[in-house]
A and B are shown apart, each in its own frame.
Chain A
Amino acid sequence: MDTLLHPSTSSMAKRPCPSSAENPMLPSSFSQMDNLLLSFLSLSDSSPPVSLDLSFDRLLESAPSDADQSLLIDRAHNLGSLLLRAANRSARKRASLHNSIAWALPPDLTIKVFSMLDSQSLCYAAATCSMFNKCAMDPLCYANIDLTTVVPKVNNAVVSTMIQRAGKSFRSLKLGIVPGPTSSPGSCQPLVYSIRNSVDVSSFSWNDKKTRQGKESSILTRSCLYPLSGDNGAAGTLLRRLHLYNIERMDNASFCVALAACPSLLDLEIVGLHVELRQTLISVSSNCHLIERLFFESSKTGRDDSLKSPTCVDLVNNCPNISSLSLRGFKLQDYKVRILVKVLGRVGLHKYLDFWSSGCCMPGRVGFRKLKYADFSTSYLISGTFLRNLGSGFGGNLLEVLILRDCMHLKEVEVARFLTAVLAGDFKFLRYLDISNREGLASEGDWYQRSYNSSIIPLKQVLEVRPNICLLAEFPSEGCYIDIDHMFDSDVNSEISLPSQLSSHTSDGSLLMSSSESSYNSDQGSGNEEYQVSGFVIYEESSDEVDFLVV
């Protein structure tokens, strides 16, 4: 009976009660009820709580039969719950009223505010009060859905709900697991993330989640993108941007189905998905003709060599708007990359022959005409020959950004050739170039021979002639960081002190410099006119002596 006098506690479960109109205990006339209720409610002020208890007990005792007692108790229950519900309802109404005064913005402005929130904050806001909840359901708030998390938390149902709420405002979807900011910085730091590596996994049982099905699961499965195809692809048609990270369960078939539903896609970013490059690109070129940005990072660096020339040709022909292309961690041959990058000019035959001579046998228009941003970091097999004659004469190459970081087989001679072309005036629009490599560049001949020396690469000259280019050419330098000026000034004596440090690393013939000592500073925004060059030693695998070249 305590709950009657403490209506604010919701500890009492709500029971379904019969309609009060049929209850014989309550009078039918309205004002009688009012008076009765009033006098009853004033009880809590006047008498101590315990008297109600005693009163009820006396009533029960005076009841003629057992059945009458049950009836009394039932009625007490019913009335009690009715009163409790009424009080709760009124309390909520008052709270709502208070809220609408405290938060003085009208719904349309509130919705505007909410549309600026990220998905997580939006959900918090929606759980705050009923007014917020209503505003947070507006489709405008779901135009950009960002469900990326640091550990797996989101499941298919959440994705589906959000897409549904977005309705016609649906524009962008980001999904998956992105390593948190605690991971070591580096522009080439792969975003690929394996749950097995996670340090946050301690509270998260992988097996536990795997076995559970349906809504309880915290895992995105391969069907997480089905809402895009649903309802005749209504949602997919609206989608402009799709970013997917490390969705372990995603496979080729499901992903291609999803892409097939997104003809308006402009920006596609996939990192760490177990999908084949070739199949994905085929799907893109079949379905996403408007695409402008393609960022694809392999889940297994250096293992996917599925890309074929016809795929490149199809991609170039069917997706002419691509201005930004990133293919990281794949096995790419030079001639295939060339198809993607080289622009066939208006000038006719001799350029066509040049194209043939570069080893490719594919006729037809090649090269993205609008390509400005190209990133082939951590690619295998490309040696740089695709860069030859790329920006020459005809039309000029529009390339503004070229990133070839940590390409194991990238040859220094090709880089030198490329930079010479830049010096000669090609690549007029180039403003950012990154040829850094944790393990140096490959020497001519055997790629095991690494070069950390920029003697043939005209770095300094490039920076003089084209000062607006941001040039990153970081190679391991044993932890010490000597810039190019110092290198010029220093004499041989000061450099002799280095072999003692180097030999300890090179005695086993391994080409891997310990990466912790490499000056792996990869701040892309480091300024337009700065450059960092480190490393000035040519390492000969067979010899203990180390040659030094002063540039």
Chain B
Amino acid sequence: MLLSKNSALESKDNEIFEVEESIAIQSELIKTMTTMVNSKAYVNERNQMVPEARCRKQANYHVEQNNKIVDEELSDWESKFFEVDMDDLHELFMAANYLEIESLLNGVTKRVGDFIKACKNVEVIRQTFGINNDFAAQQEEEIRKLNSWNHI
């Protein structure tokens, strides 16, 4: 099997990205596809589901990640990388999930978790994420009782 240095990934918007093979393989999905198809450049058309912005982000993420060997640098860079608004985070999330890139997924998950942790109570969570209260009165009462230790 001839393995070239770069894989070409085609995104939904028909844009082609040249990504180093080792980086592309970080995505479990691409890994399985390339192995199955046994070709370097012809990645399955399913990949077309991923819109361009996401792909670019993946490529960036991995390139940078590979460059930063020192833990401190990496965590600094990572925190900056994830300092985006909810929409972008959501995109990253979907992309990481679809492409099955574990490290990226963990990073985004943690970031969203941090968002929630920063909220000091229920109301703030609702405001931050634009969520409405859809509990029936009885449910709310139950929840309040269970969480009385938390002063909800």
Q: Considering the chains assembled together, what is the distance between the CA atoms of A291 and B95 in angstroms?
A: 41
B97-A113 in contact (CB<8A): no
Q: Which of B117, B132, B139 has the most CB of A within 10 A?
A: B132
Q: A125-B125, A130-B135 are in contact. Are A155 and B146 (CB under 8 A)?
A: no
Q: A153's closest neighbor in chain B, by CB?
A: B149
**Among the listed A92, A103, A113, A149, which residue makes an inter-chain contact with B113, where contact means beta carbons less than 8 Å apart?**
A113
B121-A102 in contact (CB<8A): no
Chain A contact residues: helix, strand, loop or mixed:
helix
Q: For chain A, give the interface size range.
A: 35 or more
**Interface membership of B68, Cβ < 8 A:** no
A155-B149 in contact (CB<8A): yes
Shortest CB-to-CB span from B135 to chain A, Å, is: 6
**Interface membership of A300, Cβ < 8 A:** no
Q: Which of A14, A127, A154 has the most CB of B within 10 A?
A: A127
**Among the listed A89, A121, A128, which residue makes an inter-chain contact with B117, where contact means beta carbons less than 8 Å apart?**
A121
A95-B132 in contact (CB<8A): yes
**Among the listed B119, B121, B131, B146, which residue makes an inter-chain contact with A129, where contact means beta carbons less than 8 Å apart?**
B131
Residues of B near A155 (CB, < 8 A) are: 149
Q: A121-B117, A124-B152 are in contact. Are A129 and B133 (CB under 8 A)?
A: yes
**Interface membership of B147, Cβ < 8 A:** yes
Residues of B near A10 (CB, < 8 A) are: 137
Shortest CB-to-CB span from A149 to chain B, Å, is: 8
B132-A117 in contact (CB<8A): no
Instruction: Scan residues 103-152 of chain B and give those whose CB is less than 8 A from a CB of chain A.
Output: 105, 109-110, 112-113, 116-117, 119, 121-122, 125-126, 129-137, 139, 143-144, 146-147, 149-152
**Among the listed A118, A129, A149, A161, which residue makes an inter-chain contact with B135, where contact means beta carbons less than 8 Å apart?**
A129
A116-B110 in contact (CB<8A): yes
Q: A103-B129, A154-B149, A155-B149 are in contact. Are A124 and B109 (CB under 8 A)?
A: no
Shortest CB-to-CB span from B100 to chain A, Å, is: 12
Contact with B along A147-178 (1 / 0, CB 8 A): 00100011100100100000000000000000
Q: A105-B93, A133-B143 are in contact. Are A95 and B133 (CB under 8 A)?
A: yes
Q: B135's closest neighbor in chain A, by CB?
A: A130
A125-B134 in contact (CB<8A): no
**Among the listed A116, A118, A129, which residue makes an inter-chain contact with B132, where contact means beta carbons less than 8 Å apart?**
A129
Q: Which 3 A-B pairs have the closest CB atoms?
A: A116-B113, A95-B134, A95-B132
Known pairs A126-B143, A133-B135. 14 more at Cβ < 8 A?
A95-B132, A98-B132, A105-B112, A109-B109, A112-B109, A116-B110, A120-B150, A123-B147, A127-B122, A127-B144, A128-B122, A129-B126, A130-B135, A153-B151
- Show 10 A/B contacts (Cβ-Cβ < 8 Å), sorted by A: A93-B134, A112-B109, A117-B116, A120-B150, A124-B125, A128-B131, A130-B134, A130-B139, A153-B149, A153-B151
Interface residues of A (CB under 8 A from B): 10, 14, 88-89, 91-93, 95-96, 98-99, 102-105, 109, 112-114, 116-118, 120-121, 123-130, 132-133, 149, 153-155, 158, 161, 218
Interface residues of B (CB under 8 A from A): 90, 93, 97, 105, 109-110, 112-113, 116-117, 119, 121-122, 125-126, 129-137, 139, 143-144, 146-147, 149-152
